[in-house]
Amino acid sequence: MLITADTIATGAELLRPGWIEVADGRVVALGDGAPPRSADQPADRDLGAVTIVPGFVDMHVHGGGGGAFPEASFATTKAAVELHRRHGTTTMVASLVTATGPEMLRQVGILAEQVQDGLVAGVHLEGPWLSQHRCGAHELSALRDPDPAELDRVLAAGQGTIRMVTLAPERAGGLAAIGRLVDAGVIAAIGHTNATYEQARAAIEAGATVGTHLFNAMRPVHHREPGPVIALLEDPRVTVEMITDGVHLHPALYRDVTSNVGPDRIALITDAMAAAGMADGAYRLGALDVDVRDGVARVAGTDTIAGSTATMDQVFRFAVLHSARPRDEALLVAVRQSSVNPARALGLPPAGLAPQAAADLVVLDEALTVSGVLQAGSWVVQPG
């Protein structure tokens, strides 16, 4: 299949006009100008005035389409995957919230099978080893210190499918847990933390390489105690997640971080829960009741934000529209932050449009709204 479009953003450059040749689920070749066919062999799909970008990679998502990964059933996982896929997410990691030991093992075991079946690309444990002072939408009574025996049980249940674990390094045993995770090939992330600057620095030195939803559920920056935010931002080994949904962060913070750390250390995420793509109403996030009003999810009866209702096309669009950079540059930056960077941070196969890469792409109209999705060379959403 040969696809042509007015603009193709590969992750490294803009091709105008551009073409992509796809075969057997992979990109065979791509370029700008006239495609390598004669006049009597037109493109299979000439998409015209659209922008093609790589498929989105969401490294932090709890559900969507009414399905929540904490339920850990095939039906709910499939509902979430299909909802996000229609919005351009071609690769996603299933994030689990804090649960009791037996329940966590049950969920991890079921999701491990779904990873092996190719439904999701891995498992992310957000908890239970989080700070009680920055717990956000996590069940306070289930939070605990990381225990080496429990950690070993969880890793065994995951059968190599656990990609990332978010923890608060200041908890007793936190640094040792980071070392154990890294030794097992798991990405250690700092999040839901009340750590001091020095404690966060120690966690990074122990092997932590991701900051979970930067600013949210973290000790804030103070002029005498800069806390984890500054420690994460100043270390070039760290990739920081940002929820650019217009609710979790002011756009000025996105602009400032992108300007100061560069475009390659930020991963845009949704942190979406079951209500993504659904109407306002009552939902669940793990053990907690959640109310969604005007598209904003909060723990029932509180002002605490409980994940988001966003999809990756929304956070991508927000990043482009609220960038301080010229439009073309903002587009390329957002492409890296929504596909290339998260894939790299998790050790997944390289994302972006390049020869031999998976043929995962998203077709966007002039308003950056999804009008087509190709996954592994097959149309999930037909363009137009």
Task: Supply the DSSP string of 190-229, one letter for each residue.
Answer: E-SB---HHHHHHHHHHT--EETTTTTTBPPP-SS--HHH
pLDDT in tens, 245-281: 999 999 999 999 999 999 999 999 999 999 999 999 9
DSSP state for residue 142 in the 8-state scheme: G
Q: Is 324 annotated as a binding residue?
A: no
Sign for the pseudo-dihedral over CA of 196, 199, 204, 210: negative
**The tokens of 222 are what?**
């103070």
Q: Is 224 annotated as a binding residue?
A: yes
Partners of 22 in beta bridges: 27
CATH 2.30.40.10 segments of the chain = 2-53+352-381
pTM: 0.95
pLDDT in tens, 196-214: 999 999 999 999 999 999 9
pLDDT band at 384 (very low <50, low <70, confident <90, very high): confident
- Buried b or exposed e, range 149-165, using 16+ CB within 10 angstroms: ebbeebbebbeebbbbb
Per-residue pLDDT, 42: 64
Q: Identify whether 251 is preceded by a cis peptide bond (ω within 30 of 0).
A: no
Annotation says 40 is catalytic: no
Average pLDDT over residues 91-107: 96
CATH 3.20.20.140 segments of the chain = 56-346
Q: Is 87 annotated as a binding residue?
A: no
pLDDT in tens, 203-254: 999 999 999 999 999 999 999 999 999 999 999 999 999 999 999 999 999 9
Q: Is 248 annotated as a binding residue?
A: yes
Average pLDDT over residues 163-180: 98
Q: Is 122 annotated as a binding residue?
A: no
The CATH number corresponding to 56-346 among 3.20.20.140, 3.40.50.300, 3.40.50.2300, 3.90.950.20 equals: 3.20.20.140
Q: Is 31 annotated as a binding residue?
A: no
Per-residue pLDDT, 72: 65
**Distance in angstroms (rounded) separating the CA atoms of residues 218 and 97:** 16
> Residue by residue, what is the 3-state secondary structure of 15-30?
ECCEEEEEECCEEEEE
Residue whose C-alpha is closest to residue 218's, from 255, 186, 249: 249
| Residue 24 or residue 70, greater confidence | 24
**The tokens of 302 are what?**
């509180």
Residue 73 pLDDT greater than 90, yes or no? no
Query: DSSP assignment of 251-265, as one string?
Result: HHHHHHHHHHH-GGG
- CATH number for the domain running over 2-53+352-381: 2.30.40.10
Q: Order of strands, edge to edge, in the sheet holding 45-46?
A: 26-32, 18-23, 2-5, 45-46
Mean pLDDT of the chain: 95
Which segment of 32-36, 119-123, 239-243, 299-303 scores lowest on mean pLDDT? 32-36
Q: Which of 58, 235, 245, 271 is catalytic?
A: 271
Q: Is 84 annotated as a binding residue?
A: no
Per-residue pLDDT, 75: 83
Q: Identify whether 146 is preceded by a cis peptide bond (ω within 30 of 0).
A: no
Per-residue pLDDT, 198: 98
**The tokens of 174 are what?**
């936190």
Q: Is 301 annotated as a binding residue?
A: no
Place of tokens 């966060």: 200
Q: How far is CA 9 from CA 220, 231, 311, 333, in A?
A: 36, 32, 20, 10
pLDDT in tens, 25-40: 999 999 999 887 655 5
Phi and psi angles of residue 288, each rounded to the nearest 5 degrees, phi first = -105, 145
**Distance in angstroms (rounded) separating the CA atoms of residues 380 and 357:** 18
**Cα Rg of the chain (Å, integer):** 20
